């Protein structure tokens, strides 16, 4: 059971509190094994949840997108946001349908994001996002020019109010169900890269020369 103190009641894990974690090492570790988050916010009473890429630098999560994006324009005004990241590790198959579950690691971050206006910080943030998705790509690709930087908004959310929730292990059935002749256990799930698909307009010779970091790609946190 976690003995750590949550930073606020808003992020305290109340359902199965023994699964809650509040230390930076656990929270950062989960964030660093993903590159896709979901951003929740409310505009004019309407809730929205938008998936987007992200990168972490120390205790700051950066997200980016078009400067015309409703999400980024709304959030940059300082409205409250909820950022979540979930890693699915396996399907937990119990003897009863009621006790089926999933093994997972998740993070919830609450706060208000700020608009990154300094070009230096913006470039560092874009570098972090790019490298979190595909390590090595930033040095290989053309960098954003001045016009592209102006067309891109970057938001920074400091990880001050956050919690992690983790489930691991086998199913937990009712005691009377254990003798049932039903297979039970965990079906592990992993993210795996498929075969590369070159852009059709690449010259044939270049199409066959994929970078090593793509040929040997592995998801964040497993490199």
Q: Which two tokens stand for residue 61?
A: 């999560």
Taking only the tens place, the pLDDT of each residue in 132-191 is: 999 999 999 999 999 999 999 999 999 999 999 999 999 999 999 999 999 999 999 998
Instruction: Count Cβ atoms below 10 Å from residue 55 Cβ, excluding itself.
Output: 24
Instruction: List all residues 6 or more positions away from 154 whose beta carbon is below 8 Å from its beta carbon.
Output: 62, 63, 64, 115, 116, 121, 122, 125, 126
Q: Residue 132: in which H helix or E strand, if any?
A: helix 119-133
The CATH number assigned to the domain holding 34 equals 2.30.110.10
CA distances, 165 to each of 37, 60, 64, 71, 137 (Å): 15, 20, 26, 26, 31
Asked if residue 108 belongs to a domain, the reply is yes
Closest alpha carbon to 153 in 62, 91, 217, 88? 62
pLDDT at 68 (0 to 100): 83
Domain count of the chain?
1
- The reply to whether 206 falls in a domain is no
Tokens for 54?
Answer: 């992200």
Choice between 1 and 107, residue whose per-residue pLDDT is larger: 107
In a domain, 98, yes or no: yes
pLDDT at 121: 95
CA distance 168 to 63: 29
Residues 6+ apart with CB under 8 A from 5: 22
**138: domain range?**
9-194
Instruction: Indicate whether 90 belongs to any domain.
Output: yes
Q: How confident is the model at residue 1 (pLDDT cuts 50, 70, 90)?
A: very low
Tell me whether residue 50 is in a domain. yes
For 46-81, write each residue's pLDDT tens digit: 999 999 999 999 999 999 998 888 888 888 888 999
- Predicted TM-score (pTM) of the model is 0.90
* pLDDT recorded at residue 77: 84
| pLDDT band at residue 222 using 50, 70 and 90 as cut-offs | low
Per-residue pLDDT, 223:
54
Strands (E), the chain: 20-21, 36-43, 46-57, 60-66, 80-93, 101-112, 114-115, 152-158, 161-167, 185-188
Q: How confident is the model at residue 221 (pLDDT cuts 50, 70, 90)?
A: low
Q: What is the pLDDT of residues 182-217, one digit of tens each?
A: 999 999 999 888 999 999 999 999 999 999 999 999
pLDDT digit string, tens, across residues 30-46: 999 999 999 999 999 99
- Position 71 scores a pLDDT of 86
The mean pLDDT of 77-86, rounded to a whole number, is 94
Q: Which two tokens stand for residue 84?
A: 């979540």
**Higher pLDDT residue, 23 or 73?**
23
pLDDT at 135: 93
Answer whether residue 81 is part of any domain. Answer: yes
pLDDT of residue 3: 54
């Amino acid at each position: 059971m976690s003995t750590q103190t949550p930073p606020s009641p808003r992020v305290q894990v109340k359902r199965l509190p023994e699964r809650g974690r509040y230390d930076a090492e656990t929270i950062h570790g989960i964030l660093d094994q993903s590159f896709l988050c979901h951003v929740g916010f409310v505009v004019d009473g309407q809730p929205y949840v938008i998936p987007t890429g992200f990168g972490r630098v120390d205790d700051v999560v950066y997200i980016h997108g078009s400067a015309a994006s409703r999400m980024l324009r709304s959030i940059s005004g300082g409205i409250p946001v909820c950022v979540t990241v979930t890693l699915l590790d396996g399907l937990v198959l119990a003897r009863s349908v009621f006790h089926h579950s999933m093994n997972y690691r998740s993070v919830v971050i609450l706060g208000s994001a700020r608009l990154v206006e300094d070009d230096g910080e913006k470039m560092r943030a874009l570098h972090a996002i790019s490298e979190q998705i595909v390590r090595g790509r930033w040095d290989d690709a053309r960098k954003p020019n001045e016009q592209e930087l102006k067309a891109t908004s970057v938001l920074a959310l400091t990880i001050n109010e956050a919690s992690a929730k983790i489930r691991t292990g086998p199913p937990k059935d009712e005691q009377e169900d254990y003798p049932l002749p039903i297979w039970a256990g965990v079906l592990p799930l992993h993210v795996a890269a498929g075969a590369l698909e070159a852009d059709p307009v690449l010259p044939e010779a270049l199409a066959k020369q994929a970078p090593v970091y793509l040929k040997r790609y592995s998801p964040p946190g497993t490199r």
